Amino acid sequence: MSTQDTNRTFTSRSRHLRENLQRIESGRDNWALRWQALLAIIDLAILAFFLLGPYLRAGPSYLIIDYMIAVWIAGELIARAIAAPSLWGLAKRPMTWVDLFILATLLFPEALFNFAFLRIMRLWAISNSPIFRVILFRLGCHHIQDVIRAVINFLVFLFVITGFVYTSFFYGRPGGEGFVDALYFTVATVTTTGFGDITLPGTLGKLTSVVTMIVGISLFVRLAQAVVRPYKVRFPCPECGLQRHDADAVHCKACGHILNIPDEGS
């Protein structure tokens, strides 16, 4: 085989690999959904390991599983880089940087263990995957998709802030007392209850409280809006691009274009 034929074969295989990875990432056919379901199960298993990490650290197999997950996440990042239209577009995704930081905490567990609370962000990634929407639709819960996503966003923020407060201010307290105090402070701050019996010292403590209140109350309001507002379906208008419409809408409210929104009988 000539060098030119070898290059053509390599180019063809690279293109085929990239197309398959893009199909797995955002496809809607059964083959892509099966892969997405498998990846979601693996992500949930990884998330369970992260949550149980503080209780498993003393075990002999902890570091083995830790480095296996590091290899898996590194492979995911490489696969996304191959599938992405450009590396700049990949770099602009928030989850890329979250995964890079999670990868660092896995590769250097002793030095960066205090930042392991960021691993809960993997739950946010699962909630934004295509398979999440498909599962909700098949369970008949697609009408509360926005509510579930708002709940997940709020819980992720709550536990990220709790983890930061715990590692920064309450890490030295015995048993689970420190984590409970951190969670108690975070909930009291997010809900603006502000009992004042637990406060964070110093400038860092004040800035942490300010960020928690501003972002937390915004997510809390977003959750309330998702619960009380009327259900709308996501269907981009072909004319103006409006994404959300009433479930029984015939015309787009923005431009009047006739819509053909699919339903369960479609």
Burial class (CB in 10 A: 0-12, 13-18, 19+), 220: middle
Sequence-separated (6 or more) residues with CB below 8 Å from residue 114: 167, 171
Give domain 154-229's CATH architecture.
Orthogonal Bundle (1.10)
Report the C-alpha gap between 121 and 115 in whole angstroms: 12
Bridge partners of 233, per DSSP, are 245
Give the residue ranges of DSSP H helices in 61-176: 62-83, 87-91, 94-107, 121-127, 130-138, 145-165
The pLDDT value given to residue 16:
77
The pLDDT value given to residue 266:
44
Burial 95-132 (b: 16+ CB within 10 A, else e): bbebbeebbebbeebeeeeebbbbbbbbbbbbbebbbb
The pLDDT value given to residue 264:
52
The total of other beta-carbon atoms located within 10 Å of residue 189's CB is: 24
The pLDDT value given to residue 231:
61
Distances (CA, A) of 192 to 126, 178, 184, 189, 202: 29, 21, 12, 5, 20
pTM over 0.75? The answer is: no
Q: Where are the domains of the chain?
A: 1-140, 154-229, 233-266
Q: How many residues does the chain have?
A: 266
Burial 60-73 (b: 16+ CB within 10 A, else e): eebeeebeebbeeb
The pLDDT value given to residue 265:
47
Per-residue pLDDT of the chain (266 residues; tens, 9 = 90+): 566 666 667 677 777 777 777 777 777 777 777 887 788 788 778 777 776 766 666 667 778 888 888 888 888 888 888 888 777 877 887 778 878 888 888 888 777 766 666 777 777 777 777 667 777 777 666 667 777 778 888 888 888 888 788 877 877 666 567 778 888 888 888 887 777 777 888 888 888 888 888 888 888 787 777 776 656 667 777 777 777 766 666 677 777 766 766 665 44
Do 95 and 119 touch, CB atoms closer than 8 A? no
